[in-house]
């Protein structure tokens, strides 16, 4: 089978199209013909060896998101059959409920080979049925970006009609957050560095837009938009440079979902009494469980929601796709067809 292999974790130039032996199906395995994958911000770190000892540094098949169709099942597998369209859960051991240390691990494309190959073996519990209304490419956007936004807004915070949600930027997680917040009947404020992207976000249903470059104190603007009450929920993706503004925007008793570190991973000069005295909930979010992925898929099907796919590259062009993701020009998800 063909696979893209990162020979050494030194960057996209080390990626090579390679001929490998097709995996053999064990009695409890499901063999999937992989059809699509999608890129996530963490992949840019993995490509450069950013996780050091916590990743495979040589001969890694990259990428954690994947979707395809079942081609063969082992004799002990009863819930999948050839032809089934499936999507791989990002945290393969997190079935449902509260996570533990094992549940939040996502080894594919990091410590183990990932999805950028024609055939991959899974255990039956690692897969969910792909929603009928989605293509393989669309399905491949769900496991990381989609489920993270769902887990933050729906599973953990249970947002409701009338809530005000603020989400940062127009990348994968943020646009899913926009779509899920609108689905739940919430009012949405979205930020971006680009006025053109903000117009596109409006056409997806965003109620209020703020350019975070031309309005650096956008937290105050969001506070004003919410009539001085503050927003109920912030989807916090920027980290160091955005947390202070997020705390300015959130209402007393509101939630800041701590998800991303796009601008840095430290707290900086945050005044903790600002969190304490206003009873703000800082909620860490790590993707989500298989149960969440299934529930999200059903909700998307019943509301006809499709992920925002910016572009789709051939497997051989993954290096160009990674460069494009790193450029920040994308709106939504950058995908790979296998
Ligand atoms: N905790 C988890 O489980 C989890 C899961 C998924 C992702 N994440 C993290 O969440 C973050 C976003 O991931 P993603 O996949 O959505 O990334 P992405 O698709 O690459 O989105 C990046 C976008 O974020 C915006 N952005 C960049 N810097 C910003 C800043 N300082 N302030 C506000 N917006 C900024 C930009 O949007 P504009 O071009 O519109 O300005 C950029 O295009 C990453 O840090 C990622 O590692 C965490």
pLDDT in tens, 65-120: 999 999 999 999 999 999 999 999 999 999 999 999 999 999 999 999 999 999 99
Question: Once rounded to an integer, what is the mean pLDDT over residues 51-69?
Answer: 97
Residues 24 and 73 in one domain: yes
pLDDT (tens digit per residue) in 141-191: 999 999 999 999 999 999 999 999 999 999 999 999 999 999 999 999 999
Residues 41 and 130 in one domain: yes
Report the number of distinct structural domains present in the chain.
2
**Which residues constitute the domain of residue 125?**
2-141+307-337
Judge contact between 233 and 167, C-beta under 8 A.
Answer: no
Q: How many CA atoms lie within 13 A of 238 on its CB side?
A: 21
How high is the pLDDT of residue 271?
80
Q: Is the pLDDT of residue 333 over 90?
A: yes
pLDDT (tens digit per residue) in 181-204: 999 999 999 999 999 999 999 999
> 172 lies in a domain?
yes
Please state, in angstroms and rounded to a whole number, the distance separating the CA atoms of residues 306 and 91.
22
Residues 82 and 154 in one domain: no
Please state, in angstroms and rounded to a whole number, the distance separating the CA atoms of residues 239 and 258.
8
> 207 lies in a domain?
yes
Residues 227 and 116 in one domain: no
Residues 87 and 117 in one domain: yes
How high is the pLDDT of residue 267?
83
Q: Does the Cβ of 332 fall within 6 Å of ligand 1?
A: no
Ligand 1 midpoint to CA 174 (Å): 7
Residues 180 and 122 in one domain: no
Question: Once rounded to an integer, what is the mean pLDDT over residues 1-6?
Answer: 98
Q: Is the pLDDT of residue 209 over 90?
A: yes
Question: Distances in Å between the alpha carbon of 6 and those of 48, 71, 119, 217?
Answer: 10, 26, 17, 41
Q: Is the pLDDT of residue 268 over 80?
A: no
Residues 131 and 172 in one domain: no
Atom of ligand 1 nearest to the CA of 242: 32
Residues 128 and 82 in one domain: yes
> 300 lies in a domain?
no
Q: Which residue has the higher pLDDT, 265 or 177?
A: 177
> 292 lies in a domain?
no
Q: Does the Cβ of 171 fall within 6 Å of ligand 1?
A: yes
Residue of 39, 41, 144 to mutate, ligand 1, most atoms within 8 A of C-beta: 41
Mean residue pLDDT across the chain:
97
CATH code where residue 197 lies: 3.40.50.720
Please state, in angstroms and rounded to a whole number, the distance separating the CA atoms of residues 61 and 114.
5
CATH code where residue 129 lies: 3.90.180.10
> 54 lies in a domain?
yes
How high is the pLDDT of residue 273?
87
Residues 152 and 131 in one domain: no
Question: Once rounded to an integer, what is the mean pLDDT over residues 27-38?
Answer: 98
């Amino acid at each position: 089978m063909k696979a893209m292999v990162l020979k050494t974790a030194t960057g996209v130039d080390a990626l090579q199209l390679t001929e490998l032996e097709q995996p053999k199906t064990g009695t409890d395995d499901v063999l999937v013909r992989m059809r699509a994958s999608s890129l996530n911000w963490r992949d840019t770190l993995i490509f450069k060896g950013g996780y050091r000892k916590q990743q495979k540094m040589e001969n890694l098949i990259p990428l954690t998101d994947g979707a395809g169709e079942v081609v063969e099942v082992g004799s002990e597998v009863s819930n999948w059959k050839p032809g089934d369209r499936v999507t791989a859960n990002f945290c393969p051991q997190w079935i449902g409920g509260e996570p533990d240390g094992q549940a939040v691990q996502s080894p594919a494309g990091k410590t183990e080979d990932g999805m950028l190959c024609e055939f991959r073996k899974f255990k039956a519990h690692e897969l969910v049925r792909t929603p009928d209304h989605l293509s393989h490419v669309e399905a491949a956007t769900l496991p990381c970006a989609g489920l993270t936004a769902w887990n933050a807004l729906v599973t953990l915070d249970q947002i409701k009609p009338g809530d005000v949600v603020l989400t940062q930027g127009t990348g994968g997680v943020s646009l899913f957050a926009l779509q899920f917040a609108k689905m739940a009947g919430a009012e949405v404020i979205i930020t971006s560095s680009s006025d053109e992207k903000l117009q596109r976000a409006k056409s997806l249903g965003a109620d209020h837009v703020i350019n975070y470059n031309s309005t650096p104190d956008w937290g105050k603007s969001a506070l004003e938009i919410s009539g001085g009450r503050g927003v109920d929920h912030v989807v916090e993706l920027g980290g160091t440079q955005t947390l202070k503004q997020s705390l300015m925007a959130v209402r007393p008793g509101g939630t800041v979902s701590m998800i991303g570190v796009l601008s840095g991973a430290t707290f900086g000069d945050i005044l903790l009494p600002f969190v304490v005295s206003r009873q703000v909930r800082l909620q860490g979010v790590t993707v989500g469980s298989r149960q969440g992925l299934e529930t999200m898929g059903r909700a998307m099907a019943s509301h006809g929601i499709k992920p925002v796919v910016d572009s789709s590259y051939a497997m051989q062009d993954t290096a160009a796709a990674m460069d494009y993701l790193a450029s920040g020009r994308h709106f939504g998800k950058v995908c790979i067809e296998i």
